[in-house]
Amino acid sequence: MSTEKQNEHAAVSAADKQREEALSGLRDLIPLIFPVAAFGTIFGTASIAAGHSIGMTIWASMAMFAGASQFVFLDVYRLGVPAWSVVLAVFAVNFRHILYSAAVANKIGHFPPLAKLASFFLLTDLQFAVVEKRYENFSGRRPITLTYYFAFGIAGYLLWILATAIGALFGSLIEDPALIGLDFILPIYFLTILMGFRARRNFVPVVLVSAVAAVVVEKTLGAPWHISIGALCGIATAVLLSLSGGGKAATAGEGSANG
């Protein structure tokens, strides 16, 4: 085979691989279309009800792309508190994204610098979950490609903006979202992400400690600090269990059960 044909074959193979990676990213988004669309629609509706214009509502989703933090922004902003309080509240909710970025940094370390910056903008709860799950499924043997990451991320971003626009334009037609269960979308959204990691070592104790800490903080200090403090307590539990040999014991137990 000539060098020219070899190069052509390699180019075709690379293109096929990129296409497959893009399709994989889009396929992984399909099961999540309904919760993301419902979540975005509710935000659009809530933003208009809070007195914001359609343009401002859509711009908020385009600029922040932060899901739960956008709802916190609406609640705090509506109270008329100082700007620093709004920023602090949003930071408290978004603190988990610092943890997300630390967790995925080694998985996207091969991305070019500008692509890496853009990837952190797209690092939502769902993006983090699918990246971790895909990396876990292939035991780290298959890298997270730029094509896969951005196919999922950009499609999710566009879906979020479209859903926000639909909510802003037509959300007022739904007089009471609770009647059709839309008020429960947010907890279901996070519970779905959480259960995706149920096979990991020490899942139950970490979740229990995090949940108890979050409830206690919410009842004492109040929202939104229960989110970041609950997360930190869960991380501390995971570290302590790992240092004390709990992770090894769990692994040995799983091996015996499988045997």
pTM of the model: 0.69
Tokens found for residue 149: 């990451």
Specify if 236 maps to a domain.
yes
Same domain, 135 and 206: no
∠ CA 117-233-128, rounded to 5°: 30
Q: Is residue 218 part of a domain?
A: yes
Cβ within 8 Å of residue 215, ≥6 positions away: 226
Same-domain status, 208 and 139: no
Q: Which two tokens stand for residue 114?
A: 């500008």
Residue 113 belongs to some domain of the structure: yes
Instruction: Output phi, psi for 145, to 5 deg.
Output: -85, 155
Q: What are phi and psi of 55, to 5 degrees?
A: -60, -45
| Domain assignment of residue 190, given as a range | 12-198
Residue 164: pLDDT band (50, 70, 90) is: very high
Q: Could you tell me if 29 and 48 lie in one domain?
A: yes
Mean pLDDT (whole number) for 43-67? 87
Task: Please report the DSSP string for 67-117 in residue order.
Answer: THHHHHHHHHHHTT--HHHHHHHHHHHHHHHHHHHHHHTTTSTTS-HHHHH
Answer yes or no: do 162 and 149 share one domain.
yes
Domain count, the chain: 2
Instruction: Report if residue 207 sits inside a domain.
Output: yes
Choosing from 179, 198, 217, the residue where a domain stops is: 198
Instruction: Please compute the mean of the pLDDT values over residues 15-27 and round it to a whole number.
Output: 90
Domain assignment present for residue 233? The answer is: yes
Q: pLDDT band at 255, cuts 50/70/90? A: very low
Same domain, 174 and 241: no
**What would the mean pLDDT of 59-66 be, rounded to a whole number?**
88
Domain assignment of residue 6, yes or no: no
- The total number of residues written for the chain in this structure: 259
